[in-house]
Structure 1
Amino acid sequence: MSMTPDLTKLQTVLDGETDIIVRRDFSHPPAHVWRALTEPALIRKWMAQDDLKRCEMDLRPGGSFRYEWESFYFSGPILEVDTPHHMVHVEYFNGDTTSGATIITDLVARGTGTRMTQVMRYANAEARAAAIEIGMTDGLDEVYEKLEVLLTAE
């Protein structure tokens, strides 16, 4: 019996006072996972399907992104890109630039698959607690399972 955790299911860990670390393994190589995380046509298919009204990404340092639903949106600048392994962006909720999280996404090959590690870094403990309280981490397992299904169907 293996003592290794099953990371096909999402693992979420609080780290220090400001970070939320999310880990998940995908059964596809980093380049495929990267495409699904960064190409608007693919993002629409796994993130929210028909509910996503606007989905834009200018994938370069100095670029920006915007994911917009009927009643809320996420947007912000893209700070670093190293295709297909690393991206850093800032994620503002409804344009509130006073409380955004810095999102650091790393994709590492593991056999024929990929380990995604995402660090959501908030300005302080209060901002992280508020993000958890409003549900910023709720449903991530289901959303990333949709991404896995999409990759398998591609």
Structure 2
Amino acid sequence: MTDTDLRTMTIERDFAHQPEKLWRALTQPHLIADWLMQNDFVPALGHKFQLRGEWGGVLDCEVRAIEPQRRLSYTWTFANDDPAYALDSVVTFTLTPSATGTRLRVEQSGFRPDQKQAYGGAHAGWKEFLGKLDTLLTNL
């Protein structure tokens, strides 16, 4: 299988908040825990960390790119004995200032063609996470 066989899930959302505020929510562990998952994130290139879901699963991650208030990318790996549920992907957040705040683009790449359920689950999951992120930003 080549990289061209892999699928990418993309979702965009406009937030009525400046990039600086959104960046804080993407990079401060206690804020990440409020909208995404419990974690030991550090905003440093190469930092290895874990995201721990309420469902008991653990994602192994590593920061791949960090451009303050512009772009954050990290691996998103879920090991599972069943290959249909194992996932080796990359999540990238891109922030673009807009007239009303910030447009956030989330891309999760690396879904194999046989992972239709994981792909659909990621799309639904990111919509839910971004809803929680919007609530958090409004309350900050």
Match of 1:90 in 2: 75
Percentage of pairs with the same residue: 25
Deviation at 1:92, TM superposition (A): 0.6
**Structure 2: which 5+ residue stretches go unaligned?**
none
Q: Closer, same or farther in 2 for the Cα pair 1:130/1:30, shift >3 Å?
A: same
SS at match of 1:44: helix
The 1-side partners of 2:106 and 2:92 are apart by: 5
- Which runs of 5 or more residues in structure 1 are unaligned? 1-15
Structure 2 counterpart of 1:85, one-letter code: R
State the one-letter code of the partner of 2:43: L
Q: Given the alignment, which residue of 120, 134, 138 partners 1:148?
A: 134
The root-mean-square deviation of aligned C-alpha atoms, in Å, is 2.3
Partner of 1:7: none
Who is 1:27 aligned against? Answer: 16
Q: Distance in 1 between matches of 2:68 and 2:80?
A: 27
1:137 to 2:137 alignment = no
Corresponding position of 2:99? 111
Distance 1:41 1:95, change over 3 A: farther
The amino acid across from 1:110 in the alignment is S
Per-residue CA shift, 1:3-55, capped at 9, x if unaligned?
xxxxxxxxxxxxx85111111111101111111111111112223xxxx5x41
1:106-151 CA distance string (max 9 Å, x none): 0000014110111111164334x25225x22224323212211211
* Higher-RCO chain (CA-CA 8 Å, sequence separation at least 6): 2
Structure 1 residue 95: Cα displacement: 7.3
1:79 corresponds, among 64, 71, 74, to: 64
For each residue in 1:82-115, what CA deviation from the matched residue of structure 2 results, as whole angstroms up to 9, or x when unmatched?
011101211011478x731111210000014110
1:140 and 1:17 map into 2 onto residues whose CA distance is 19
Q: Distance in 2 between the 1:119 and 1:44 partners?
A: 20
